[in-house]
Homo-oligomer: A and B are copies of this chain.
Amino acid sequence: MQEKKFSNDGKSSIQDLLDRYRPDLKPFEDIYRDLHSQPELSGQEEQTAKLAAEHLKSLGYDVHTGIGGHGVAGVLRNGAGPKLLLRADMDALPVEEKTGLPYASTRVVKGPDGVSTPVMHACGHDSHVTTLMAASSLLHSARDHWSGTLICIFQPAEEHLTGAQAMLDDGLYEKIPKPDLVLAQHVMCMRAGTVGIREGAFLTAADAFDVRVFGRGGHGSSPQTTIDPIIIGASIVMRLQTIVSREVVPGELAVVSCGSINSGHSSNIIPDYLDLQLSVRTFKPEIREKVCKAIHRIIEAECEAGGAVEKPRITRTFSGPSTINDEKTVSALRSTFKSFFQERLVEVDRPAASEDFSLLATAAGAPYAMWIFGGD
């Protein structure tokens, strides 16, 4: 962003901008409460998307909707200069709200299987939507003070880590310009008014696998007639440990956890199959790829070692990239934030979570950063 009329150095300029251009916050508070009481699950963000799109249109943004599901992109062209993408995610979680708030969600949705599921904005995406709507207003109002292109993205299905990729697959960057920088924020359980930042490794990549190992069941007193899947499963669990202990550069983050192992129901019947659920955390893409490959290699080979006649079934149930904040971007943000937030700007530890917004940046070859802000 090129500053036009305000000086770039510190609190005064941000404060000045806020003083002059901050929109009336009351309607946004109402929007927040509405969103909170009407949460929409991943892939079902129809009303939220409509709200955001209409808001951007009303401001004169060039708006695209229905991208990769309910994705919304609004573009504000404001002369020469860098192209900045701000992203908010819209989806809620299948969690029952027990906060007792006057605007608490009572929503229950029925899945395709007929099962009823309560829904709640338990991850705070309602505040992400609201704040990006407010920011799009402010930056529009203050457009004389900067030049460049502003892109506001309202992304669906972040909780499944599929929404960003879906927008890209649906031709996002054929519809709108590729950004030069991508920013996102996440509300956290810390004091409202506080902002946290960190350069480099911020959120891990997360992958999850469901594994079914096929043996051949039989009576426990005749193991020679069976292919014992529990032996295969135990061997896999022990061998998986060697990925982190032997195959990853010491000091680089990599976690391979087996969160569940389940097979059989009685002491004397050898079961037909065994199920494992695995979770993987990494930062570096090359380590992520190496670890996931090693998981496949080990599971397949251990099934062969156990004499399994059928290949194992390995299904990736979850896949999100790591978030590694660009150092120069964080350095600039830190300086700007510091001027305004003062001692309320903190350095943060790595949260144990994952995000997919970085795909919007890496697909465009752009740097990116995410910061967190307090919501309590």
Contact = CB atoms under 8 A, between A and B. Distances in A.
Interface of A: 201, 204, 206, 208-210, 219-224, 226, 228, 230-231, 233-235, 237-271, 274, 277-279, 281, 283, 294, 297-298, 300-302, 304-307, 317-318, 352
A302 B239 CA distance: 10
Nearest to A231: B242
B261 A268 contact: no
Q: Nearest 8 CB-CB pairs, A to B?
A: A260-B264, A220-B257, A301-B305, A251-B253, A234-B237, A268-B279, A267-B277, A301-B304
Nearest to A307: B297
A320 to B, nearest CB: 12
Question: How many monomers of this chain does the complex have?
Answer: 4
If over half of A's interface residues share one DSSP class (helix, strand or loop), that class is named, otherwise mixed; here it is mixed
Nearest to A354: B221
A223 B247 contact: yes
Contact of A297 (B222, B223, B231, B305): B305
Nearest to A229: B261
B245 A223 contact: yes
B239 A305 contact: yes
A261 B262 contact: yes
A180 to B, nearest CB: 28
6 contacts: A220-B281, A224-B248, A235-B238, A257-B270, A260-B267, A298-B305
A263 B241 CA distance: 18
A79 to B, nearest CB: 40
Contact of A301 (B220, B222, B262, B302): B302
A278 B307 CA distance: 20
Contacts of A223: 245-247, 250, 255, 257
A136 B246 CA distance: 45
A264 B211 CA distance: 14
Given A237-B230, A257-B223, A267 B209 contact: yes
A67 to B, nearest CB: 29
Nearest to A287: B224
Nearest to A255: B250
A270 B317 CA distance: 17
A264 B18 CA distance: 50
B305 A277 contact: no
Contact of A250 (B224, B238, B246, B294): B224
A251 B301 CA distance: 28
B260 A266 contact: yes
A222 B353 CA distance: 11
Contacts of A294: 307
Given A237-B231, A261-B264, A302-B301, A224 B249 contact: yes
B266 A263 contact: no
A203 to B, nearest CB: 10
Contacts of A226: 246
Contacts of A253: 250-251
Contacts of A318: 267
Nearest to A268: B279
A269 B208 CA distance: 12
Residue of A257, A260, A318 with highest tally of chain B CB at under 10 A: A257
Given A234-B233, A239-B235, A259-B267, A204 B221 contact: yes
A294 to B, nearest CB: 7
Contacts of A263: 260-262
